[in-house]
Amino acid sequence: MISATAPNTAARAPGSIAESRCLVIGAASGIGRATAERLRRSGAAVIGADLPSADWPEGHSGPSLPLDVTDPGSVATAVASAVQTLGRLDAVVNCAGILGPVASALATPVDEFERIMRINLTGAFIVSQAVLPGMAQAGYGRLLHISSTAGKEGVTNMPAYSASKAGILGLVKSLAKEFALSGVTVNALAPGNILTPLFGQVPADQQTAQAAKIPMGRFGTPAEAASLIEFIISPDASYTTGFVFDLSGGRATY
């Protein structure tokens, strides 16, 4: 296997997002769906992936694959299928994740904590292991994981979610250093309150409390997330790796 520090400079890198071949994980709804749609409009070749049980929206277009981020075999099979279909993977956006129950730490069972960590954090590691070798061998790649402001500052009654999203930050920074000389960038996006089905699971009183923390005075949209994601995974974003991009309306810009 080629070293992560020795890119294959003979491989052809995309010159623009329109020339990029992308896999979006968690593409059936929310930020993942908006990202896949935007990338397709920009001319990129995109495959969306989500759980076999995912409820894809009516009118969904474009190829899709079943993928369970907690299962290394499922991820490996989906990645291999995407590479076979597209010829290569220039960019992977991992939006898979769950909120879990909104409950105090003392009321959160250990097995539930571990389930959330398995999906949100271990799943990100499994995806990374599946896609980074091919990108490093090609000498080009963009990997983006979705974290959260909860991972930066912690959110009351979301101990597992906050811990899992904090873990993604450390994972991304470690991987970015390991692959820094390979032509591959590894970054994270930390959304605040984005109007997705996931955020809809947050109790109304907690939504109100979180809204008060946003300097812009409003929640974000999946389309705004997709716009930023398109830049992060584009060839233009060539000198930023191991970074956590803010998407919180000014709430958590550190």
Instruction: Write out pLDDT tens, residues 34-52.
Output: 999 999 999 999 999 999 9
For residues 21 and 44, is the Cβ–Cβ distance under 8 A? yes
Q: Is the pTM of this model over 0.85?
A: yes
* 8 pLDDT tier (thresholds 50, 70, 90): low
Instruction: Write out pLDDT tens, residues 110-122.
Output: 999 999 999 999 9
* 3 pLDDT tier (thresholds 50, 70, 90): very low
Token representation of residue 115: 């389930």
User: Does residue 4 surpass a pLDDT of 60?
Assistant: no
Instruction: Write out pLDDT tens, residues 184-208.
Output: 999 999 998 888 877 777 778 877 8
Distance separating alpha carbons of residues 13 and 11, to the nearest angstrom: 6
User: Does residue 5 surpass a pLDDT of 70?
Assistant: no
User: Does residue 141 surpass a pLDDT of 80?
Assistant: yes
Position 252 scores a pLDDT of 82
Name all domains of the chain by residue range, CATH numbers in brackets.
17-247 (3.40.50.720)
Position 2 scores a pLDDT of 38
Q: What is the mean pLDDT of residues 65-88?
A: 98
Q: Minimal CA–CA distance to 23: which of 76, 78, 74?
A: 78
For residues 27 and 95, is the Cβ–Cβ distance under 8 A? yes
Q: What is the mean pLDDT of residues 126-146?
A: 98
Q: Which ranges in the chain belong to alpha helices (H)?
A: 30-41, 72-86, 110-117, 123-138, 149-153, 159-178, 204-211, 222-232
Which residues are annotated as catalytic?
161
For residues 48 and 65, is the Cβ–Cβ distance under 8 A? yes
Terminal-residue alpha carbon distance, the chain? 37
